[in-house]
C-alpha cells in the first residue's frame, strides 16, 4: 500500500524497517501480515510470496524468517550476439514517472476529496499529497478496485484504506475518521469509502498516495486539473 505525510508541525512516517532486517531477511513478529511486511520493505505481496515459496499470502507464522530483499542473481549473463538487428522504437512504452520512480500506470483517477493540497509529493519525506478538508467529509475511491486493507494497524497512517486497481497499482487513503468498507470488498470509482478525520495525525486532512509496483509516484500526475 502503500510513504507517510509530513508538515511543519507533524510528521507521521511510513513503517520503516529499523533493526528488523538482517542479510535481506525479516523475522515475522506478532500481528504481522504479509501485506504489512511488504509495505515496510517496499515489496509487493506477490513478490514476497514468490521469493519465499509460500503457498499463499496468509502462510506466515510468528518467528518465521521472510526474505524481504532481492536475492543476488547467480544466473550467467548471456553474451550479446554480433551485429544485433536494430529495433524500432516503441511509441507506446510507458514513460518513467519523475520523483518517485516506477512506470506510469495506465489508470485514470478522480479526486478522492475536493480541497486544497496543503502538502505536495516529494518522493522522500512525503510519499503522497495531503488534502485539507472538514471532519466528516466523504472520502471517495479514486478508481474502481478491491479493498486490500481497511484498518488502523500501520503507525503514522491512522485509519487507512488501501485499494488495488490492477496488478501494479494501489491507492492509499489515510487519517480517516470512519471507514465505510472492509477488506476484500469491491468498490467503484466515486464510491464513499470513508469520512475525513485526523486519526494518526494532527489537523483534519486526507493523505492520498499512489503506488506503482510498490513504488510511490506523484498522485498529481493522474488526477484531473
Q: Provide the percentage of residues in the chain whose pLDDT is more than 90.
A: 46
Q: What is the mean pLDDT of residues 49-76?
A: 75
Q: What is the mean pLDDT of residues 152-160?
A: 91
Q: What is the DSSP letter of 197?
A: B
The larger pLDDT score, comparing residue 70 to residue 29, is at 29
- Output the pLDDT for position 188: 97
| Band (4; pLDDT cuts 50, 70, 90) | low
The domains found in the chain, sorted by start residue, are 117-221 (2.70.70.10)
Handedness of CA 121, 127, 129, 130 (dihedral sign): negative
The larger pLDDT score, comparing residue 69 to residue 163, is at 163
d(CA 213, CA 225): 25
CB atoms within 10 A of CB 29: 11
pLDDT in tens, 181-190: 999 999 999 9
For cell 496488478, name the residue. Answer: 167
pLDDT in tens, 43-55: 888 888 888 888 8
Inform me whether the pLDDT recorded for 167 exceeds 80.
yes
pLDDT in tens, 111-130: 999 999 999 999 888 999 99
| Band (98; pLDDT cuts 50, 70, 90) | very low
CA atoms within a 13 Å half-sphere pointing along the CA-CB vector of 179: 20
Q: What is the mean pLDDT of residues 195-219?
A: 94
Average pLDDT value over all residues in the chain: 79
- Output the pLDDT for position 71: 67
d(CA 151, CA 176): 10
- Output the pLDDT for position 36: 83
Q: What is the mean pLDDT of residues 52-72?
A: 80
- Output the pLDDT for position 107: 82
- Output the pLDDT for position 180: 97
Q: What is the mean pLDDT of residues 192-206?
A: 95
For residue 175, give the nearest of 144, 154, 192 by alpha carbon: 154
| Band (27; pLDDT cuts 50, 70, 90) | confident
Amino acid at each position: 500500500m502503500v510513504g507517510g505525510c509530513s508538515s511543519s508541525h507533524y510528521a507521521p512516517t511510513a513503517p520503516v524497517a529499523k533493526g528488523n532486517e538482517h542479510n535481506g531477511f525479516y523475522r515475522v513478529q506478532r500481528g504481522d501480515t504479509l501485506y504489512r511486511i511488504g509495505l515496510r520493505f517496499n515489496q509487493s505481496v506477490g513478490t514476497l510470496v514468490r521469493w519465499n515459496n509460500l503457498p499463499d499470502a496468509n502462510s506466515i507464522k510468528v518467528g518465521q524468517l521472510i526474505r524481504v530483499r532481492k536475492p543476488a542473481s547467480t544466473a550467467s549473463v548471456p553474451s550479446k550476439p554480433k551485429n544485433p538487428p536494430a529495433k524500432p522504437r516503441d511509441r507506446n512504452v510507458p514513460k518513467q514517472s519523475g520523483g518517485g520512480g516506477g512506470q506510469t500506470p495506465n489508470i485514470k483517477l478522480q479526486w478522492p476529496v475536493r480541497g486544497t493540497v496543503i502538502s505536495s509529493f516529494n518522493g522522500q519525506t512525503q510519499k503522497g499529497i495531503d488534502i485539507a478538508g472538514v471532519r466528516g467529509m466523504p472520502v471517495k475511491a479514486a478508481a474502481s478496485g478491491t479493498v486490500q486493507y481497511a484498518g488502523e494497524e500501520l503507525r503514522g497512517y491512522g485509519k487507512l484504506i488501501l485499494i488495488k486497481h490492477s496488478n501494479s497499482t494501489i491507492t492509499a487513503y489515510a487519517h480517516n475518521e470512519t471507514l465505510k468498507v472492509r477488506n476484500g470488498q469491491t468498490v467503484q470509482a466515486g464510491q464513499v469509502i470513508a469520512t475525513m478525520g485526523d486519526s494518526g495525525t494532527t489537523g483534519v486532512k486526507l493523505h492520498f498516495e499512489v503506488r506503482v509496483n510498490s513504488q510511490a509516484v506523484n498522485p498529481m500526475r493522474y488526477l484531473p486539473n
